[in-house]
Amino acid sequence: MSHVRLIDIDKYYGSYHALKSVNLTVDKGEFIVMVGPSGCGKSTTLKSIAGLEAISSGEIWINGRNVTREEPGDRGIAMVFQSYALYPHMTVAENMGFGLKMAKRPQAEIDVAVKRAAEILRITDQLDKRPKELSGGQRQRVAIGRAITRSPEVFLFDEPLSNLDAALRTQMRVELTTLHQQLGSTMIYVTHDQVEAMTMASRIVVFNKGVIEQQGAPLELYHNPVNQFVAGFLGAPRINFVAATLVNLRDGVAEVALEGASTVHVPVADTAGLTNGAKLTLGVRPEALKIGDVPDAALSFDAQVRLVEQLGRETVLYVDAGPLAAIGSESGTHNFTVQLGTAAPYAAGQSIKVSARAADLYLFAPDGKAVNRPKLIAASL
């Protein structure tokens, strides 16, 4: 059953078109993560759901009610802000109970709700403190507790972990996922961090320039991006892109020429608009690149190791393939990124051969649309 529905949402800031006909349906109990680069419209969408931003046109439905014209406090939502946005003059308990107090609930009921939320978040011993006495992580817990206390239909999170340090971020990520399982509430979460998106979401919605590029389960998006933007946005280290020219298209197999490497054959599903000579983009994820000869390699090239990052359980190599230049690479150069699932004894300056199988290659049309949708989930495991 749909719990939150956005119907043809448009938002203008003056003449700037921030949201372009956004449609989104969220089911009860889903954990939706909206991702995208800065200014893509994800936060604007969240604030529109909250009612903190007025939309220019369209409708917002929450729990079967049209709330487009309703005040934030009447929408049955609770929001957690990146800046925590705790009331500095109130104690933790007062902060958490403020929503219920505004709803004129009896103090006894407020106390029970606050206590219950505090127990879930293990901040019972902080209830009498003021926000400034708390650490960043504790403050964010209070902000989440304030949301829980209101027992809303929908939780909205606006980059809640961005202000925390890396270790705390990982911990809170796990806690939020656990909280979602525990409460079973609908949650909509905005982040620019694709690791948060991949790990927390039951469904990821990728925004770019005010439109939804793609939505689906994390692995679905990871393996079957509909376009070059989604492929480039999800995955760390980033996918390698390289310019390719279509030389021949026959029997659902595209033959593409690369600068400085032998011709590559890639199976394609969607051949619409592809003509010989078209400037395409070939994509291959860092973990799909293997070192040495691979039995059925479709792509292979010689390269020199420029930089090695030993992460213990895995190794990331930045390799220079000479004339075969990666576009918009992780390291800001034309180097390819290779991710090995082991601690591998490579050193800078070493010459290696890099290969990838045809099933691991993505091909994008000049307009960025993916022309092959390799069902890689089973194949690559």
Contact 343, 315 (CB under 8 A): yes
Tokens at 300, concatenated: 């292979």
Q: Which residues pair with 325 in a beta bridge?
A: none
136 binds other proteins (CB under 8 A): no
Report which secondary-structure segment, H or E, holds 110.
Answer: helix 107-121
Taking the complex as a whole, the smallest distance from the CB of residue 297 to other proteins amounts, in Å, to: 52
Taking the complex as a whole, the smallest distance from the CB of residue 98 to other proteins amounts, in Å, to: 5
Tokens at 375, concatenated: 């069902």
Taking the complex as a whole, the smallest distance from the CB of residue 52 to other proteins amounts, in Å, to: 5
Taking the complex as a whole, the smallest distance from the CB of residue 118 to other proteins amounts, in Å, to: 17
- Residues from 113 through 132 that contact other proteins (CB under 8 A): 130, 132
Look at residues 6, 147, 129, 151 and name the one whose alpha carbon lies nearest to residue 67: 6
Taking the complex as a whole, the smallest distance from the CB of residue 125 to other proteins amounts, in Å, to: 20
Q: What track of x and - describes contact with other proteins for positions 35 through 54 (by CB under 8 A)?
A: ------------x--xxx--
* Residues contacting other proteins: total by CB under 8 A: 29
Check whether the bond before 237 is cis (ω within 30° of 0): yes
Q: Which residues pair with 133 in a beta bridge?
A: none
Rama region for 216: left / alpha / beta (φ>0; ψ in -120 to 50; rest): left
Whichever of 82 and 177 has its CB closer to other proteins, that residue is 82
| CA distances to 73, 94, 103, 133 from 90, in Å | 19, 6, 17, 12
- Window of 19-27, 77-85, 201-209, 219-227 that interacts with other proteins by CB under 8 A: 77-85
Whichever of 149 and 335 has its CB closer to other proteins, that residue is 149
What phi and psi values does residue 250 have, to the nearest 5 degrees?
-150, 135
83 binds other proteins (CB under 8 A): yes
Tokens at 218, concatenated: 């994390």
Contact 342, 315 (CB under 8 A): yes
74 binds other proteins (CB under 8 A): yes
Among 4, 33, 35, 79, interactor with other proteins by CB under 8 A: 79
- Residues from 86 through 105 that contact other proteins (CB under 8 A): 86-90, 98-99, 102-103
Would you tell me which residues interact with other proteins (CB under 8 A)? 47, 50-52, 71-74, 77-79, 81-90, 98-99, 102-103, 130, 132, 146, 150
